[in-house]
Amino acid sequence: MNIIFHIDVNNAFLSWTSVYLLKYENYELDIRTIPSVIAGDPKKRHGIVLATSYPAKKYGIRTPESLYSAKNKCKDLQVYKPNYAFYKEMSDKLYNYYLTITPDVERYSIDECFLDLTNTSYLYDDVLYLAYKIKDYIKNEYGFTVNIGIANNKLCAKMAGDFSKPDKVHTLFDNEIKSKMWPLKVEDLLYVGASSSKELHRLGINTIGDLANYDPNKLKKYFKNRAYDMIKLANGLDDSKVISTNGKNKCISLSKTLEYDTRDLNILKKEVLHMCEEIGLKLRNENLYASCIAITIKTDLFKAYSHQKKILNQTNDTMELYKNALELLEVVVSNNAIRNIGVRVSDLVNYKNSQMSLFDSNTKQDDVWKIIDNINNKYNNTKIMPAIFYKDDNNK
């Protein structure tokens, strides 16, 4: 029998900012105790609520709603900006702490990990006791609380972690699925989102138990092959493994909501070049090459489009990425005003198809990037970048 822990930080961004303010800015007020949220800048059209305190939740404020709407619900709402560098630091600290408990740790998001204790639980006589010890250690050592879900697979561990918050340990072992999970609303089931739950309710499937016992052949008419997966999930069945994939993503993407909608190709090109810079740097730092690149956009009407293409000679060269991205950009720019633009690379490999380098100057170019990257990695603010930026800066 497998033993899986799911550990997530309660209101992660808000808790972490609170810890930061108390520790480094000598705040006397713990923002977790007042109606507060973490949100971006509405003037830059980043006004989305990213995390909420429990007092803010009492006003019905939820992520990710607009800051505008959140403020309408609570006039005294206190708003704090996200501090991603500190969040990353906290996330790494937690991850390294988990590794002292078991080597089998999967980072599921910035504030969530799965721990596989199947092969290590013999070291700990009582897993429930261990969970309480972990939870209390984190609270005392770092100053924020977590929820821990314990189960026989990842799905149930994650479901258990959501039962009631904060600062709680819950179990959802195989023999508890009917009593603890089946009464829940069907939309509470992992991977059943807004679109599916709407359809399920229409079919009279309101609880996870309803779904678990529904005729798969009937459900197939509405959900195709996904019907079988959904019924499996509702029965608490999940054989996915805890995989230590630290840092190894299948794609890297960057996107940006512009301050104003635009049809101006020059503005979009500049954004795309900037993203190719960042993505190229990330690829080179991890010694990865991209075989596929995409441009994504969102129009002023919130309609999303994307265009992608294979890159025959895998690359992590900024200007190669940019050249490919530009071809896609020309396809994607239509009559729509563009609100959000992004670049995504995928099919990442750690080798380079070097056949073509006999005919071009790739090797020399690689050396140039190494020098540029060393400087950029060292000095965060004064970046070496393609000449187009200098021109732009001078025009300000």
When the beta carbons of 291 and 357 are compared against DNA, the nearer one is 291
Q: Which residues of 263-290 are buried (b: 16+ CB within 10 A; e: fewer)?
A: eeeeebbebbbbbbbebbbebbeeebbb
When the beta carbons of 241 and 365 are compared against DNA, the nearer one is 241
Tell me how far, at minimum, the Cβ of 255 lies from DNA, in Å. 4
When the beta carbons of 253 and 365 are compared against DNA, the nearer one is 253
Q: Which residues bind DNA (CB under 7 A)?
A: 8, 12, 40, 42-43, 45-48, 50, 63-64, 66-69, 108-109, 111-112, 158, 190-197, 224-226, 249-257, 292, 294, 302, 304-310, 331, 340, 342, 344, 346
- Residues with catalytic roles: 112
Tell me how far, at minimum, the Cβ of 138 lies from DNA, in Å. 16
When the beta carbons of 202 and 364 are compared against DNA, the nearer one is 202
When the beta carbons of 158 and 180 are compared against DNA, the nearer one is 158
Tell me how far, at minimum, the Cβ of 193 lies from DNA, in Å. 2
Tell me how far, at minimum, the Cβ of 105 lies from DNA, in Å. 16
Tell me how far, at minimum, the Cβ of 26 lies from DNA, in Å. 28
